[in-house]
């Protein structure tokens, strides 16, 4: 059993922390939203009223925050994680953030001789609830091995992606593939419709052919073809269009910084940006098909 300080009890962080509690770890939670900490207490955890309070006596600190700005503030700010943890505490940031901030925070932790990994996730709220997340982990071997048992409590697939920041690198590359593939799968179904080809026929053929991909076979944007699709429940998220745009923008910032050529990634970011400007950013990202159809 580990003593865990958990900071950021939102849509993802709460079920992750609850899975740690189910596995008999002692979890002390902190969130700016007091309701969230109270809900954790109702699940058997303890509440903290500051970052320092959550870090006090923690053997492991896990963060699940919106973006790089909050991660920087929570780790590096006055009264933040690095200023308040015990010397042997392991730090695990599961938020999706930019690679540069992840590496900067990891370096600041190293400067204090603290072990840290970046461990962003794939699998969404359903994966967090079912403890079936995929963790993409950046950090040295020793920190990864220390983090692994806890990550296995919250997820099914744990991959060591390399040194600090490489978990974030894997996450944004993966989601660049996902965003672009969701657009092109949607375009293909819309083109098929114009050509008089039934959606079911295209699905039966492409799901078994070279056009096969996760956006088609697990998360098809057309209703009625795949039981798990948000399309079947009026595109209720799931993974919101706003979150997809956030990750596509992170990928574009990384591409600019490294001079990588990513025309489809750039196009996907632009399409999601227009989609969000035109409507509801809280809809599932597969709802992009409605924007492309002009609904
Ligand atoms: P969320 O907005 O529901 O939760 C974030 C929580 O952090 C909120 O409860 C907020 O109050 C808290 N918070 C913000 N600043 C804080 C601070 N300074 N101190 C303490 N608490 C603070 O977001 P989420 O959906 O849980 O996502 C968290 C991260 O996981 C994001 O980086 C997101 O990109 C990533 N992610 C989300 C999903 C998903 O499907 N929701 C999937 C994969 C990855």
Q: Are 285 and 177 in contact (CB under 8 A)?
A: no
Tally of CA atoms within 13 A in the half-sphere of 179 that contains its CB: 32
pLDDT for the residue numbered 250: 97
pLDDT at position 281 over 90: no
SS (H, E, C) 265-285: HHHHHHHHHHHHHCCCCCEEH
Residue 149: helix, strand or coil by DSSP? helix
Closest residue (by CA) to atom 16 of ligand 1? 32
The predicted-structure confidence for 72-129, as pLDDT tens digits, reads as follows 999 999 999 999 999 999 999 999 999 999 999 999 999 999 999 999 999 888 899 9
Q: What percentage of the chain exceeds 90 in pLDDT?
A: 95
Which ranges in the chain are annotated with CATH 1.10.1040.10? 169-293
Pocket residues for ligand 1 (CB within 6 Å)? 7-13, 30-33, 36, 64-67, 70, 73-74, 95-96, 121, 124-125, 239, 243, 246
pLDDT at position 39 over 90: yes
pLDDT at position 238 over 90: no
Counting from 1 in the atom list of ligand 1, the atom nearest the Cα of 14 is 26
pLDDT for the residue numbered 105: 98
Closest residue (by CA) to atom 38 of ligand 1? 124
Look at the block and give the residue holding tokens 């920190």: 143
What CATH code would you report for 169-293? 1.10.1040.10
Burial of 200 (0-12, 13-18, 19+ CB in 10 A): exposed
pLDDT at position 228 over 90: no
The predicted-structure confidence for 170-199, as pLDDT tens digits, reads as follows 999 999 999 999 999 999 999 999 999 999
pLDDT for the residue numbered 15: 98
pLDDT at position 18 over 90: yes
Q: What percentage of the chain exceeds 70 in pLDDT?
A: 100
pLDDT at position 19 over 90: yes
Which ranges in the chain are annotated with CATH 3.40.50.720? 3-163
Q: Are 73 and 39 in contact (CB under 8 A)?
A: no
Instruction: Round the average pLDDT of the chain to a whole number and report it.
Output: 96
What CATH code would you report for 3-163? 3.40.50.720
């Amino acid at each position: 059993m580990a003593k865990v300080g958990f900071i950021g009890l939102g849509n993802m962080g709460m079920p992750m922390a609850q899975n740690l509690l189910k596995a008999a770890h002692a979890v002390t939670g902190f969130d700016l939203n007091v309701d969230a900490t109270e809900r954790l207490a109702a699940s058997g955890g303890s509440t903290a009223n500051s970052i320092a309070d959550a870090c006090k006596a923690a053997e492991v600190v896990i963060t699940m925050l919106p973006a790089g700005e909050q991660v920087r503030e929570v780790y590096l700010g006055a009264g933040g994680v690095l200023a308040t943890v015990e010397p042997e505490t392991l730090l695990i940031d599961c938020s999706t953030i930019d690679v540069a901030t992840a590496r900067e925070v990891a370096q600041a932790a190293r400067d204090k001789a603290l072990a840290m990994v970046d461990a962003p996730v794939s699998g969404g709220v359903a994966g967090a609830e079912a403890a079936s997340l995929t963790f993409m982990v950046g950090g040295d071997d020793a920190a990864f091995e220390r983090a692994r048992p806890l990550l296995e409590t919250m997820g099914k697939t744990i991959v060591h992606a390399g040194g600090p920041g490489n978990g974030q690198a894997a996450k944004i590359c993966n989601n660049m593939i996902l965003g672009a593939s969701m657009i092109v799968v949607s375009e293909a179904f819309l083109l098929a419709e114009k050509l008089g080809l039934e959606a079911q026929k295209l699905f039966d053929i492409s799901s078994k052919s070279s056009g096969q991909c996760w956006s088609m076979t697990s998360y098809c944007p057309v209703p009625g073809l795949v039981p798990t699709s948000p399309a079947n429940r009026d595109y209720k998220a799931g993974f919101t269009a706003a979150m997809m745009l956030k990750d596509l923008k992170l990928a574009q910032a990384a591409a600019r910084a490294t001079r990588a050529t990513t025309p489809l990634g750039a196009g996907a970011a632009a399409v999601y940006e227009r989609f969000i400007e035109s409507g509801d950013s809280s809809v599932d990202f597969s709802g992009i098909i409605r924007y492309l159809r002009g609904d």
